[in-house]
Amino acid sequence: MKPYIGYTGRIYFHRLSLRGIQASLVALLLCLPFVPCNAKATAPAMDARVYLLRGLMNVFSLGLDEIGTKLQAQGIPITVANFVSWSSLAEEAAAEYKSGRVRTIILVGHSAGATVLPDMVARLSQLGVPVKLAIGLDSTFRTKLAGHADRYINFYIASGVGEPVARTKDFRGALENIDVQSIPGVGHISIDKNQLIQQKVISAIDAVVFSRHISPPHKSSPQTSTAEHNVNATAAAASTGN
Protein backbone atom coordinates (compact mmCIF):
# COMPACT_ATOMS: atom_id res chain seq x y z
CA MET A 1 0.00 0.00 0.00
CA LYS A 2 1.45 3.39 -1.01
CA PRO A 3 1.76 5.90 1.81
CA TYR A 4 -0.62 8.82 1.83
CA ILE A 5 1.40 11.92 0.96
CA GLY A 6 -1.33 14.55 0.80
CA TYR A 7 -0.50 15.81 4.30
CA THR A 8 2.99 17.06 5.14
CA GLY A 9 2.64 17.83 8.87
CA ARG A 10 4.49 15.89 11.54
CA ILE A 11 3.20 12.50 12.64
CA TYR A 12 4.13 11.46 16.17
CA PHE A 13 4.62 7.68 15.89
CA HIS A 14 5.60 7.37 19.52
CA ARG A 15 1.94 7.86 20.45
CA LEU A 16 0.83 4.83 18.35
CA SER A 17 1.88 1.28 18.99
CA LEU A 18 2.81 -1.04 16.13
CA ARG A 19 0.08 -3.41 17.27
CA GLY A 20 -2.46 -0.63 17.00
CA ILE A 21 -1.40 0.18 13.46
CA GLN A 22 -1.68 -3.47 12.43
CA ALA A 23 -5.14 -3.76 13.99
CA SER A 24 -6.28 -0.69 12.07
CA LEU A 25 -5.02 -2.07 8.77
CA VAL A 26 -6.73 -5.43 9.36
CA ALA A 27 -10.00 -3.68 10.17
CA LEU A 28 -9.71 -1.64 6.96
CA LEU A 29 -9.07 -4.74 4.83
CA LEU A 30 -12.03 -6.55 6.36
CA CYS A 31 -14.28 -3.71 5.24
CA LEU A 32 -13.23 -4.08 1.58
CA PRO A 33 -15.47 -6.19 -0.70
CA PHE A 34 -14.08 -9.61 -1.67
CA VAL A 35 -14.35 -10.54 -5.35
CA PRO A 36 -12.94 -13.95 -6.35
CA CYS A 37 -10.64 -13.60 -9.38
CA ASN A 38 -12.07 -16.70 -11.01
CA ALA A 39 -15.75 -15.85 -10.51
CA LYS A 40 -16.33 -15.36 -14.25
CA ALA A 41 -14.55 -18.56 -15.22
CA THR A 42 -16.46 -20.89 -12.91
CA ALA A 43 -19.91 -19.82 -11.77
CA PRO A 44 -21.56 -19.05 -15.16
CA ALA A 45 -20.09 -22.17 -16.81
CA MET A 46 -21.17 -24.77 -14.27
CA ASP A 47 -24.53 -25.40 -15.95
CA ALA A 48 -23.24 -25.28 -19.54
CA ARG A 49 -21.89 -28.01 -21.79
CA VAL A 50 -20.40 -27.82 -25.27
CA TYR A 51 -20.66 -30.89 -27.52
CA LEU A 52 -17.99 -30.96 -30.25
CA LEU A 53 -18.61 -33.40 -33.13
CA ARG A 54 -15.66 -34.49 -35.25
CA GLY A 55 -15.94 -35.57 -38.88
CA LEU A 56 -14.84 -38.79 -40.56
CA MET A 57 -12.31 -41.10 -38.92
CA ASN A 58 -11.56 -38.73 -36.01
CA VAL A 59 -8.38 -37.54 -37.71
CA PHE A 60 -9.53 -34.57 -39.81
CA SER A 61 -11.21 -32.53 -37.08
CA LEU A 62 -8.51 -32.21 -34.45
CA GLY A 63 -9.04 -28.45 -34.40
CA LEU A 64 -12.14 -29.20 -32.35
CA ASP A 65 -9.87 -30.70 -29.70
CA GLU A 66 -7.93 -27.42 -29.65
CA ILE A 67 -11.17 -25.47 -29.25
CA GLY A 68 -12.22 -27.84 -26.49
CA THR A 69 -8.95 -27.33 -24.63
CA LYS A 70 -9.36 -23.56 -24.80
CA LEU A 71 -12.93 -23.78 -23.53
CA GLN A 72 -11.88 -26.04 -20.64
CA ALA A 73 -9.26 -23.47 -19.68
CA GLN A 74 -12.16 -21.06 -19.15
CA GLY A 75 -13.99 -23.56 -16.98
CA ILE A 76 -16.52 -24.59 -19.65
CA PRO A 77 -17.34 -28.35 -19.64
CA ILE A 78 -17.04 -30.10 -23.02
CA THR A 79 -17.67 -33.43 -24.71
CA VAL A 80 -15.73 -34.35 -27.86
CA ALA A 81 -17.01 -37.25 -29.97
CA ASN A 82 -17.34 -38.54 -33.52
CA PHE A 83 -20.36 -37.45 -35.53
CA VAL A 84 -21.81 -40.97 -35.58
CA SER A 85 -22.57 -40.57 -31.87
CA TRP A 86 -24.89 -37.59 -32.36
CA SER A 87 -28.08 -39.50 -31.47
CA SER A 88 -26.74 -40.92 -28.20
CA LEU A 89 -25.22 -37.54 -27.36
CA ALA A 90 -28.64 -35.94 -27.86
CA GLU A 91 -30.13 -38.42 -25.40
CA GLU A 92 -27.30 -37.72 -22.95
CA ALA A 93 -27.75 -33.96 -23.29
CA ALA A 94 -31.51 -34.28 -22.77
CA ALA A 95 -30.98 -36.32 -19.60
CA GLU A 96 -28.51 -33.75 -18.26
CA TYR A 97 -30.89 -30.90 -19.09
CA LYS A 98 -33.92 -32.54 -17.48
CA SER A 99 -31.92 -33.34 -14.36
CA GLY A 100 -31.11 -29.64 -13.98
CA ARG A 101 -27.36 -30.21 -14.10
CA VAL A 102 -27.08 -28.58 -17.54
CA ARG A 103 -29.14 -25.57 -18.62
CA THR A 104 -27.09 -24.28 -21.55
CA ILE A 105 -26.45 -26.69 -24.43
CA ILE A 106 -24.09 -25.69 -27.24
CA LEU A 107 -23.21 -27.76 -30.33
CA VAL A 108 -20.18 -27.45 -32.60
CA GLY A 109 -19.42 -29.70 -35.57
CA HIS A 110 -16.88 -29.92 -38.39
CA SER A 111 -17.40 -31.51 -41.81
CA ALA A 112 -19.67 -34.54 -41.29
CA GLY A 113 -20.03 -33.32 -37.70
CA ALA A 114 -21.51 -30.10 -39.09
CA THR A 115 -23.76 -32.06 -41.44
CA VAL A 116 -25.49 -33.88 -38.55
CA LEU A 117 -25.97 -30.76 -36.41
CA PRO A 118 -29.47 -30.05 -37.80
CA ASP A 119 -30.44 -33.65 -36.94
CA MET A 120 -29.19 -33.20 -33.39
CA VAL A 121 -31.00 -29.87 -33.02
CA ALA A 122 -34.23 -31.44 -34.27
CA ARG A 123 -33.85 -34.45 -31.98
CA LEU A 124 -33.23 -32.29 -28.92
CA SER A 125 -36.29 -30.23 -29.80
CA GLN A 126 -38.36 -33.42 -29.94
CA LEU A 127 -37.06 -34.23 -26.46
CA GLY A 128 -38.11 -30.81 -25.23
CA VAL A 129 -34.58 -29.48 -24.91
CA PRO A 130 -33.59 -26.05 -26.33
CA VAL A 131 -30.21 -25.46 -27.96
CA LYS A 132 -28.68 -22.12 -27.09
CA LEU A 133 -26.07 -22.11 -29.86
CA ALA A 134 -25.04 -24.40 -32.72
CA ILE A 135 -21.99 -23.78 -34.93
CA GLY A 136 -21.23 -25.76 -38.08
CA LEU A 137 -17.85 -25.67 -39.81
CA ASP A 138 -18.16 -26.47 -43.53
CA SER A 139 -20.99 -29.00 -43.72
CA THR A 140 -20.36 -31.31 -46.69
CA PHE A 141 -24.04 -31.67 -47.66
CA ARG A 142 -26.89 -29.23 -48.03
CA THR A 143 -28.99 -29.60 -44.90
CA LYS A 144 -32.32 -28.26 -43.64
CA LEU A 145 -32.86 -26.89 -40.18
CA ALA A 146 -35.90 -27.60 -38.01
CA GLY A 147 -36.59 -27.49 -34.29
CA HIS A 148 -35.26 -24.79 -31.99
CA ALA A 149 -31.85 -23.16 -31.63
CA ASP A 150 -31.51 -19.64 -30.30
CA ARG A 151 -28.66 -19.08 -32.73
CA TYR A 152 -27.30 -21.29 -35.51
CA ILE A 153 -24.09 -20.22 -37.27
CA ASN A 154 -22.94 -22.08 -40.37
CA PHE A 155 -19.39 -21.21 -41.49
CA TYR A 156 -18.87 -22.61 -44.97
CA ILE A 157 -16.49 -22.28 -47.92
CA ALA A 158 -18.55 -21.46 -50.99
CA SER A 159 -15.71 -22.25 -53.39
CA GLY A 160 -15.19 -25.72 -51.87
CA VAL A 161 -17.37 -28.56 -50.67
CA GLY A 162 -19.16 -26.52 -48.03
CA GLU A 163 -22.87 -25.83 -48.25
CA PRO A 164 -25.24 -23.27 -46.70
CA VAL A 165 -27.96 -24.47 -44.34
CA ALA A 166 -31.61 -23.93 -45.28
CA ARG A 167 -34.30 -23.19 -42.71
CA THR A 168 -37.68 -24.89 -42.72
CA LYS A 169 -40.98 -23.46 -41.54
CA ASP A 170 -40.55 -25.54 -38.38
CA PHE A 171 -37.31 -23.86 -37.33
CA ARG A 172 -37.38 -21.32 -34.51
CA GLY A 173 -34.28 -19.22 -34.00
CA ALA A 174 -31.69 -17.11 -35.82
CA LEU A 175 -29.78 -18.68 -38.71
CA GLU A 176 -26.57 -17.24 -40.17
CA ASN A 177 -24.76 -18.67 -43.20
CA ILE A 178 -21.29 -17.14 -43.30
CA ASP A 179 -19.04 -17.66 -46.32
CA VAL A 180 -15.40 -17.69 -45.14
CA GLN A 181 -13.69 -18.53 -48.44
CA SER A 182 -11.85 -15.18 -48.44
CA ILE A 183 -10.07 -15.86 -45.14
CA PRO A 184 -6.42 -16.71 -45.94
CA GLY A 185 -5.47 -20.34 -45.42
CA VAL A 186 -8.99 -21.65 -44.85
CA GLY A 187 -9.89 -24.98 -46.49
CA HIS A 188 -12.23 -27.81 -45.69
CA ILE A 189 -9.56 -29.73 -43.74
CA SER A 190 -8.09 -26.63 -42.07
CA ILE A 191 -11.17 -24.56 -41.21
CA ASP A 192 -11.41 -26.02 -37.70
CA LYS A 193 -7.70 -25.34 -37.08
CA ASN A 194 -7.67 -21.77 -38.39
CA GLN A 195 -6.99 -19.41 -35.49
CA LEU A 196 -9.40 -16.73 -36.72
CA ILE A 197 -12.22 -19.27 -37.07
CA GLN A 198 -11.42 -20.73 -33.65
CA GLN A 199 -11.54 -17.23 -32.18
CA LYS A 200 -14.96 -16.62 -33.75
CA VAL A 201 -16.29 -19.94 -32.43
CA ILE A 202 -15.00 -19.38 -28.90
CA SER A 203 -16.22 -15.77 -28.82
CA ALA A 204 -19.72 -16.88 -29.80
CA ILE A 205 -19.67 -19.55 -27.10
CA ASP A 206 -18.35 -17.13 -24.47
CA ALA A 207 -21.12 -14.68 -25.36
CA VAL A 208 -23.70 -17.32 -24.47
CA VAL A 209 -22.01 -18.90 -21.45
CA PHE A 210 -20.98 -15.65 -19.83
CA SER A 211 -24.17 -13.81 -20.76
CA ARG A 212 -22.64 -11.19 -22.97
CA HIS A 213 -24.86 -9.26 -25.35
CA ILE A 214 -25.16 -10.70 -28.85
CA SER A 215 -26.25 -8.22 -31.49
CA PRO A 216 -28.80 -9.65 -33.96
CA PRO A 217 -27.40 -9.96 -37.49
CA HIS A 218 -28.49 -7.07 -39.74
CA LYS A 219 -31.29 -6.15 -37.30
CA SER A 220 -33.20 -9.27 -38.33
CA SER A 221 -35.52 -11.05 -35.92
CA PRO A 222 -35.09 -14.76 -35.15
CA GLN A 223 -38.02 -15.54 -37.46
CA THR A 224 -36.67 -13.79 -40.54
CA SER A 225 -35.01 -15.53 -43.46
CA THR A 226 -31.39 -16.70 -43.38
CA ALA A 227 -28.87 -13.87 -43.06
CA GLU A 228 -26.08 -14.16 -45.64
CA HIS A 229 -22.80 -12.63 -44.44
CA ASN A 230 -19.47 -11.75 -45.98
CA VAL A 231 -16.11 -11.65 -44.16
CA ASN A 232 -13.96 -9.92 -46.80
CA ALA A 233 -13.14 -7.05 -44.44
CA THR A 234 -12.09 -9.43 -41.70
CA ALA A 235 -9.97 -11.44 -44.10
CA ALA A 236 -8.30 -8.32 -45.42
CA ALA A 237 -7.51 -7.18 -41.90
CA ALA A 238 -6.09 -10.60 -41.05
CA SER A 239 -3.90 -10.71 -44.14
CA THR A 240 -2.45 -7.24 -43.44
CA GLY A 241 -1.93 -7.95 -39.77
CA ASN A 242 -4.30 -5.17 -38.63
3-state secondary structure 187-239: CCCCCCCCHHHHHHHHHHHHHHHCCCCCCCHHHCCCCCCCEEEECHHHHHHHH
Angle, vertex CA 72, rays to CA 140 and CA 45, nearest 5: 100
Query: Looking at this protein, which amino acid is placed at residue 118?
Result: P
Q: Which domain holds residue 99?
A: 39-240
Does the residue 229 lie in any domain? yes
> Measured between alpha carbons, how far is 144 from 171 in angstroms, rounded to an integer?
9
Does the residue 12 lie in any domain? no
pLDDT given at position 158? 93
Does the residue 150 lie in any domain? yes
Angle, vertex CA 83, rays to CA 77 and CA 88, nearest 5: 70
Q: What is the mean pLDDT of each run of 10 residues along the chain (242 residues)?
A: 36 40 39 34 74 90 96 96 96 96 96 96 97 96 94 95 93 97 93 96 96 46 43 46 44
Residues 6+ apart with CB under 8 A from 58: 82
Range 74-92 burial, b when 16+ CB lie within 10 A, else e:
bbbbbebbbbebbeebbeb
Does the residue 77 lie in any domain? yes
Q: Do 202 and 71 touch, CB atoms closer than 8 A?
A: yes
pLDDT given at position 120? 98
> Measured between alpha carbons, how far is 204 from 220 in angstroms, rounded to an integer?
18
Does the residue 230 lie in any domain? yes
pLDDT given at position 45? 76
pLDDT given at position 85? 96
Strands of the sheet with 48-54, listed across from one edge: 78-82, 48-54, 104-110, 131-137, 143-156, 165-179, 227-230
> Measured between alpha carbons, how far is 209 from 12 in angstroms, rounded to an integer?
55
Q: How many domains does the chain have?
A: 1
Does the residue 193 lie in any domain? yes
Does the residue 17 lie in any domain? no
The CATH number linked to 195 is 3.40.50.1820
The helix/strand count (H/E) of the chain reads as 8, 7
Does the residue 72 lie in any domain? yes
pLDDT given at position 26? 35
